[in-house]
Amino acid sequence: MPYFAYYDPLYWGFFIVSLIIIVTAQVNVRSRFKKYSLVYNAKGITGRQAAEMVLRSAGIYNVTIEPTAGNLTDHYDPRSAVIRLSESVYDKATIAAVGIAAHEAGHAIQHAKGYAPLKVRNAIIPLTQVGPSIGVFLLVLGAAFNFPALITTGIALFSVALVFQLVTLPVEFNASRRAIEIIRNSGILTPDEQFGAASVLSAAAMTYLAAMLQTLLTLMYYILRFSNRRR
């Protein structure tokens, strides 16, 4: 947190709102995941098997699936073409496991088909790793020395995080749509079970929306806080 924010009522107003958004989204996804992690699917299909079935249905055979430690740490690594599924997903035959695994397989399908938003997201990842933090540093420096150019540059660099999250939204929603569509067409889950899987994925997608809103609120704070100094 920049030094000037500690005593700024405006900052704490934005912070409290963004905290409520993030916590609500996190509680919601964990609640739904826990609920459907206790419900086993009728066919006894594990997360690993579901991911394999989704990949095969799309004609993809060069992606491996392996377990990874942690909870809700599931992800697709495009560099090594590996889907890593968490302990509560990999070998569990629950509705939640199937939904999460199919979602990650959806990312592998996006990668294989050259899905444009995924390409854009991957391309700007290096910039997001340094841009926002450098941006905040320049904001602090510009505020300390009353240097409008540094403030403007800092805001521009920080906004890279918002661009990344805006691009991430269609990537995540599309992966879930692909997953549910294949689950439905292949009969991996029954119609009732499909509702549970979709519920989990919908809650997970909301965490990305919440993160985007949090970044947007932070950016709005910086713009409002320094609007006078940039003139």
Q: Which residues are known catalytic residues?
A: 104
Tokens of 48: 């690993």
Could you tell me how far CA 41 lies from the centroid of its own chain?
Answer: 26
From the list 187, 71, 52, the residue with the least C-alpha distance to 109 is: 52
Say if residues 190 and 42 touch (Cβ distance below 8 Å): yes
Residues 6+ apart with CB under 8 A from 194: 180, 183, 184
CA distance 38 to 97: 10
What percent helix, strand, coil does the chain show, rounded to 5?
70, 5, 20
Please compute, for residue 94, the number of CA atoms within 13 A of its CA located in the half-sphere on the CB side. 19
Residues 6+ apart with CB under 8 A from 199: 32, 36
Please compute, for residue 62, the number of CA atoms within 13 A of its CA located in the half-sphere on the CB side. 7
CA distance 152 to 226: 9
